[in-house]
Structure 1
Amino acid sequence: MTEVFLHVYDVTNSASAKTNNAIVQLNRLLRDGMGLGGIFHSAVEVYDNEEWSFGYCDTGSGVFSCPSKANAVYSYRETISLGKTLLSRSRVTQILIELGREWPGYSYDLLSRNCNHFCDAFGERLGVQKLPAWVNRFAHAGDTAVEVAETTIKRLRQAKTDLVTASKMACRFVRCAASTSSVSSAMGAIDTLSSQRNNANVFRLSILKSPATFLSRNCLGSRGSENEVDHGKSRV
């Protein structure tokens, strides 16, 4: 009897570090934050500190092994106990040979026959519990995972660009509004000043005209002749 472990990895096999980081963050959000699942690779360990999984290849078996928790292609995330198997080491080896024939590399399918499906089948043969549902809830792995992450990055970048653009437009609007307000205030001041100047000019003309006419009449001591009054007005 020996304990069987499921090793779970984040699918970080993209050539882009940003994409891989996006996948890790997405898995944290969906798995840890929401309990939904994520984009994972899994492998089963039973005896000898070696883990077994399944992947695509053109010819031969898709079943392969590597040291436990040490798959160099992905990023190790966590280990889950699936219980204990009553099978002997030799029987487990025989099961792996059988699975190797049943799971050729070319039969790999992202949705219906991926590494998580293999681990479930292997665990069933070992007589242990099934994988937690969240491990394979998003069956899209490999290239599909990369595409999802890249699409997410593009959308985040676009959202950031839109936000920056909107902010710039808002700043311009505020500046224009302030400028327009200043211009309006300045124009208002100019109009007021102009009006005051016009009023002042009218007032000056009134001062110049009225008193002169008034004085010319007063200087006569009487209304006098129309010619004298007209002459007094003409001097203005």
Structure 2
Amino acid sequence: AVYLNIYDISPINNYLYWFGLGIFHSAVEVHGMEFGYGAHEYATSGVFQVEPKSCPGFIFRRSVCMGTTNMSRAEVRAFLEDLAEDYHGDTYHLIVKNCNHFTADVCKRLTGKPTPGWVNRLARLGSVCNCVLPENIKVSAVRDETAHLEFSGKFA
């Protein structure tokens, strides 16, 4: 089974969630491993692995079963190592290339199904209205909490 694990980034989600909005971090759980994507300053992968449902710096909200994959554990790891080349920490962007874009890509490739629209709705709204975000809003919690988890060629 492939699960989309969804975390709250902000306590404001307690209110926004009921309106189909929120500021979420997401990661993909498959074969007992959870993979996410976060920002850091280096031109190396921002893909990281953590214990399922325990991503540092975020509050776990819920899991959504996305379906199943026919890939073995080794095939999933190889697939993610290849995909990690497209998700460098220094290319993370809150609106156009965030953790939810990464999980949407992974889920689509593993199961053929899209992630729920509400998970990344605020980023889509931001891209539609061409909002210009200040540099200091780049979700420092993601950068700070996952810097020690950054991908270095092989997953732990």
Bin for the TM-score computed over the shorter chain: 0.7 to 0.9
Matches within 5 A, 1:10-25: 10-11=8-9, 23-24=10-11
Match of 2:95 among 108, 111, 117: 111
Return the index of the structure with the highest Cα Rg.
1
Greater strand proportion? 2
Measure, in 1, the Cα distance between the counterparts of 2:111 and 2:64. Answer: 16
Which structure would you say has the larger RCO, counting Cα contacts within 8 Å and 6 or more residues apart? Answer: 2
The aligned amino acid for 1:8 is: I
Measure, in 2, the Cα distance between the counterparts of 1:70 and 1:29. Answer: 22
The aligned amino acid for 1:97 is: E
C-alpha displacement of 1:144: 5.9
Aligned length: 128
What TM-score, normalized to structure 1? 0.51
Measure, in 1, the Cα distance between the counterparts of 2:53 and 2:102. Answer: 17
Measure, in 1, the Cα distance between the counterparts of 2:52 and 2:139. Answer: 23
Structure 1: 4+ residue segments shifted above 2 A: 142-146
Greater helix proportion? 1
What TM-score, normalized to structure 2? 0.75
SS of the residue aligned with 2:122? coil
Gaps in structure 2 of 5+ consecutive residues: 127-135, 141-156
Matches within 5 A, 1:23-102: 23-24=10-11, 26-32=12-18, 34=19, 36-47=20-31, 49-59=32-42, 60-102=44-86
Measure, in 2, the Cα distance between the counterparts of 1:76 and 1:136. Answer: 16
Query: Residue by residue, what CA displacement relative to the aligned partner does 1:63-105 show, whole Å, maximum 9, x if unpaired?
Result: 0010001112111111111011111222111111111111111
Query: Residue by residue, what CA displacement relative to the aligned partner does 1:91-143 show, whole Å, maximum 9, x if unpaired?
Result: 11111111111111111001000000000111122124211000000127x94
Measure, in 2, the Cα distance between the counterparts of 1:127 and 1:5. Answer: 10
Gaps in structure 1 of 5+ consecutive residues: 12-22, 147-236
